Structure 1
Amino acid sequence: MSMTELVASIAILLVSIFIFVTKSSKSRASSIPNPKAPKSYPLIGSSVAIFANRNRRIQWISDLIQSSPSATVVIHRFFLDDSHVLTGNPANVQHMLKTQFQNYEKGSKSRRALFDFLGNGIFNINGDSWKFQRQLSSHEFSTKSLRKFVETVVDTELSQRLIPTLSAAAASNAVLDLQDILQRFAFDNICQISFGYDPAYLLPGLPEAEFAKTFDEATEISSGRFNSVFPYLWKIKKFLNIGSEKRLKEASSRLRQFAKNIIKEKKQELSKNSSLESVDLLSRFLSSGHSDEDFVTDIVISFILAGRDTTSAALTWYFWLLSQNQEVEKEVLREIKEQSESPVYEEVKDMVYTHASLCESMRLYPPVPDRQQGCKTRRCFA
């Protein structure tokens, strides 16, 4: 038997075993209400269980954590890939994200997986670079002029797009996908706040927006790199420039070219008018002396990522919960009516009940339950 035939025979055998064990694992997983930590095999780790539960990943992870006495589970990945620590233990979360935050940096594998999309943005860096971007962003968001700009953008999007869209649907008794509507609402807002660019994603007719579609594709493929059963597959596809990796390369290139075109236009505008009154985040960064296009692009793309799906997911769950709890809905409406005479920002600060109900909604349904790129570390939390 030649070496080629031997390798082919071994490969076929391994694939057959993998499929058999996967089917067995899947049938067992559906019959066990409180699964224990997935079994780990030599070389392939827990890839069998990961593959078997690939279409119910979040629920599977939640089940694992709930069945663990410590609310913490370790999953061993394929071959030499790092193990993943999944925890729902509040003490562990506080340890990693607060008391010992500095000890849990993003590893090189995480940075490589996200670099094509996020570059050196705040979600993909560590140490001094992370602190610098955080301080810079915190300073800009704390300014009254930016806060006023945010109020204006959100109020315009509400009054001219969201409310008319919902009112038209109510008048015609039409059915809307609320999550899609709120994603469009959030995307328009965050793009205007970050770039000063209006994608007009929530116009009547709900048009396709090329920038939004490209951003979605880059986000999905980058996230998929983490969720792949075989972690090295995306690297092979990237080397060969095929499949999803080819699409990610093209999507990231279009996003960055789009961003750089806007940056050039902003620089020209600011050279004519350097006023910081009610301007977007990009203009503020450029005006403060941060003119490197790659640096600013990375920051702004990270803000769009942070502000779009998180906002829409939180609002979607919130409205769903309100629809299921009429007493809470009545209290929220009562408070809104009482505060409606105040300026927008001031009235929001005084809405104690509404704020508490929104926080409870996010506690029950976290807006980012499984987005690994949003975590400080790949040791993410369900």
Structure 2
Amino acid sequence: MEHFTLQSLLLLLLILLLSVSFYFQYSSFKTRVVKTGIKNYPIVGALPEFLINRNRFLQWSTEILASKCPTNTAVFHRPYNFNGIMTANPLNVEHMLKTNFENYPKGDRFTTILSDFLGSGIFNSDDEIWRRQRKTASYEFNTKSLRNFIIRNVFVEIKTRLVPILGKASETGRILNLQDVFERFAFDNLCKLAFNFDPGCLASDEISSDGDNFMRAFEEAATLSCGRFFYAIPSLWKLKRFFNVGSERRVRESISAVHKFADGIIRSRMETRAEVNTEDLLSRFIGNDENSAEFLRDIAISFILAGRDTTSSALTWFFWVLASRPDIQQKISNEIKEIRIRTAKYLEKGESFGIDDIREMHYLQAAISESMRLYPPVPVDPKECLEDDTMPDGTFVGKNWLVMYSSFAMGRMEAIWGRDCEEFRPERWLEDGVCRQENPFKFPVFHAGPRMCLGKDMAFIQMKSIVASVIERFKIDVLNKDTCPEYVMALTLRMKGGLPVRVRKRSEGMAI
């Protein structure tokens, strides 16, 4: 009985100490913040608001940043020393991504969550490990041979797989999930870029079971790993992983399948180093004897993750937006037709566009940019503050705080884009018919500063090639086009349930 009483007293004392700690932590927090924009309750902070709005996080955070925060920056507090800010202010974004870059790395919280999947790959590392990979990748992405390798694979995938699949769907009347088609397309291309390995996931009648299983395991590993960011109790996933239960058991199994498949390719390539193709990224990194097989795997998987979901997300939302704007479709069609005539390729409609043709499609690039402004592939990007700092708008940021900028909210800020910020208007990107580059801190869809996306130009070439080839040949009828799709809250903006469409062949005149 005495033992039980002593345990009870110790438990009560522990609860009291934690409560006092949270109270003083919250009181100290309140003295630094006049207006947070987010309701922060005693002890639990913003946790109730987060849980209530977790399934509509992007809309909720946009409403707060746009209407409740004078500088478009909100401050939040959560238990377990989880404080932070969320901003849609371009000055703050530039401060984080460029001016005070060293103080805002990805941080331990982010890299730990994805470490078992991505290891020390370029998109999950900081400091010297990141710099070494960035230097090599930056050089390689600027080599003519790699750029030609990427472009050639994109054109081949469009001609031999994408077009036939859409053509067959138009003949049979089958409903296609366009998001799934684009994800398979991107996965095939990224595997070729990373490994020079073709998984054949988009092949119509020749799907490789190994490649398809690899893609499915990769998708599950990415989705479930990203789900760790949204736990009410931040470290709960670690407890589940320790006991190997629930979603963490599935994460472990899917990651194991991905690593086993990738390791097999890497070992084979390292054993035949003298015979490897030097065009893909893996071959280029193999040339450095300091890189272990595990590190090479981390590099390759990081590039696949970064490229697969971003381009497929951008294309999926673009075709959904386009479905209700036949006027925009007509303008894109007219631009394609003009380029065909100008380059004497009008009669050869099935012929692939050349790289110069693609670059001449300024209206198409403006339309894709406008779609990504409203539906950015990476809607929110988190960082960690290393030392106390003050943002350009005057917001205090504490050491070890989570710092996020919301590209999704920024695209809907009247202060940034004007009163028509909610309107889909490609013309805002054009000057004298040429698509202009926007300030990357105002439009951080491809990140900005030292971590600016290396594949930005290649991504535009890939997306424009796909859109031009599809629009020239087919009419895409989106089912339920008047209802805004729900999204899956992950690292990228994926449509919940995909994008079901019907496909019809266009007439020779390309009429809408």
Against the structure 1 CA distance between its residues 293 and 41, is the aligned structure 2 distance closer, same or farther, given a 3 Å change threshold?
A: same
1:242 partner letter: V
User: CA separation in 1, counterparts of 2:261 and 2:381?
Assistant: 25
Against the structure 1 CA distance between its residues 358 and 168, is the aligned structure 2 distance closer, same or farther, given a 3 Å change threshold?
A: same
The aligned residue for residue 229 of structure 2 is 226
The aligned residue for residue 448 of structure 2 is none
User: Is residue 100 of structure 1 aligned with residue 124 of structure 2?
Assistant: no
Q: Could you give the per-residue CA deviations for residues 340-368 of structure 1, whole angstroms, max 9, x where no partner exists? A: 44862222222222222222221121111
The aligned residue for residue 195 of structure 1 is 195
CA contact (8 A) 1:111 1:125 kept: yes
The aligned residue for residue 380 of structure 1 is 404
* 1:372 to partner: Cα distance: 5.0
The aligned residue for residue 33 of structure 2 is none
CA contact (8 A) 1:237 1:243 kept: yes
- SS of 1:366's partner is coil
The aligned residue for residue 239 of structure 2 is 236
Against the structure 1 CA distance between its residues 3 and 215, is the aligned structure 2 distance closer, same or farther, given a 3 Å change threshold?
A: farther
User: CA separation in 2, counterparts of 1:50 and 1:3?
Assistant: 38
User: CA separation in 1, counterparts of 2:163 and 2:214?
Assistant: 23
CA contact (8 A) 1:106 1:378 kept: no
CA contact (8 A) 2:106 2:382 kept: no
Percentage of matched positions with identical amino acids: 42
CA contact (8 A) 2:381 2:405 kept: no
Equivalent residues in 2 for 1:177-326, closer than 5 Å: 177-204=177-204, 209-271=212-274, 273-274=275-276, 276=278, 279-289=279-289, 291-326=291-326
User: CA separation in 1, counterparts of 2:166 and 2:101?
Assistant: 43
1:252 partner letter: I
* 1:275 to partner: Cα distance: 5.4
User: Is residue 353 of structure 1 aligned with residue 363 of structure 2?
Assistant: yes
CA contact (8 A) 1:84 1:379 kept: yes
Q: Could you give the per-residue CA deviations for residues 130-164 of structure 1, whole angstroms, max 9, x where no partner exists? A: 22211111111111111111122111111111111
CA contact (8 A) 2:194 2:282 kept: yes
Deviation larger for 280-289 or 64-73 = 280-289
2:127 partner letter: G
Deviation larger for 338-347 or 171-180 = 338-347
2:317 partner letter: W
User: Is residue 368 of structure 1 aligned with residue 378 of structure 2?
Assistant: yes
User: CA separation in 1, counterparts of 2:258 and 2:39?
Assistant: 41
User: CA separation in 2, counterparts of 1:165 and 1:312?
Assistant: 16
Q: List runs of 5+ in structure 1 lacking aligned partners.
A: 11-35
* 1:290 to partner: Cα distance: 5.4
The aligned residue for residue 64 of structure 1 is 64
* 1:274 to partner: Cα distance: 4.9
* 1:70 to partner: Cα distance: 1.6
1:58 partner letter: L
User: CA separation in 2, counterparts of 1:380 and 1:200?
Assistant: 37
User: CA separation in 2, counterparts of 1:4 and 1:355?
Assistant: 70
* 1:118 to partner: Cα distance: 1.3
- SS of 1:229's partner is coil
Greater share of helix: 1
* 1:111 to partner: Cα distance: 2.1
- SS of 1:79's partner is coil
The aligned residue for residue 48 of structure 1 is 48
Against the structure 1 CA distance between its residues 108 and 291, is the aligned structure 2 distance closer, same or farther, given a 3 Å change threshold?
A: closer
* 1:220 to partner: Cα distance: 1.7
- SS of 1:85's partner is strand
1:238 partner letter: R
- SS of 1:379's partner is strand
* 1:195 to partner: Cα distance: 1.3
User: CA separation in 2, counterparts of 1:75 and 1:170?
Assistant: 50
CA contact (8 A) 1:40 1:76 kept: yes
Equivalent residues in 2 for 1:63-212, closer than 5 Å: 63-67=63-67, 68-80=69-81, 82-204=82-204, 209-212=212-215
* 1:71 to partner: Cα distance: 1.2
User: CA separation in 2, counterparts of 1:263 and 1:230?
Assistant: 37
Against the structure 1 CA distance between its residues 56 and 353, is the aligned structure 2 distance closer, same or farther, given a 3 Å change threshold?
A: same
Q: Could you give the per-residue CA deviations for residues 98-149 of structure 1, whole angstroms, max 9, x where no partner exists? A: 2222221122222222211111111222122222211111111111111111
1:363 partner letter: R
1:73 partner letter: A
Deviation larger for 95-104 or 135-144 = 95-104
Against the structure 1 CA distance between its residues 4 and 240, is the aligned structure 2 distance closer, same or farther, given a 3 Å change threshold?
A: farther
CA contact (8 A) 2:183 2:308 kept: yes
The aligned residue for residue 29 of structure 1 is none
* 1:89 to partner: Cα distance: 1.3
Against the structure 1 CA distance between its residues 363 and 290, is the aligned structure 2 distance closer, same or farther, given a 3 Å change threshold?
A: farther
* 1:55 to partner: Cα distance: 2.0
User: CA separation in 1, counterparts of 2:181 and 2:222?
Assistant: 19
The aligned residue for residue 18 of structure 1 is none
1:355 partner letter: Q
* 1:223 to partner: Cα distance: 1.3
User: CA separation in 2, counterparts of 1:318 and 1:130?
Assistant: 32
Q: Could you give the per-residue CA deviations for residues 202-225 of structure 1, whole angstroms, max 9, x where no partner exists? A: 132796821112112221222122
User: CA separation in 1, counterparts of 2:89 and 2:131?
Assistant: 27
CA contact (8 A) 2:277 2:283 kept: no
- SS of 2:74's partner is strand
CA contact (8 A) 1:190 1:307 kept: yes
CA contact (8 A) 2:269 2:276 kept: no
User: CA separation in 2, counterparts of 1:178 and 1:162?
Assistant: 11
2:117 partner letter: F
1:316 partner letter: T
- SS of 2:78's partner is coil
The alignment's C-alpha RMSD in Å is: 2.8
Against the structure 1 CA distance between its residues 78 and 4, is the aligned structure 2 distance closer, same or farther, given a 3 Å change threshold?
A: farther
Greater share of strand: 2
User: CA separation in 1, counterparts of 2:6 and 2:214?
Assistant: 47
Against the structure 1 CA distance between its residues 50 and 244, is the aligned structure 2 distance closer, same or farther, given a 3 Å change threshold?
A: same
User: CA separation in 2, counterparts of 1:132 and 1:335?
Assistant: 42
Q: Could you give the per-residue CA deviations for residues 292-343 of structure 1, whole angstroms, max 9, x where no partner exists? A: 1122111111101110110001111222223332232222222223334486
The aligned residue for residue 490 of structure 2 is none
CA contact (8 A) 2:83 2:402 kept: no
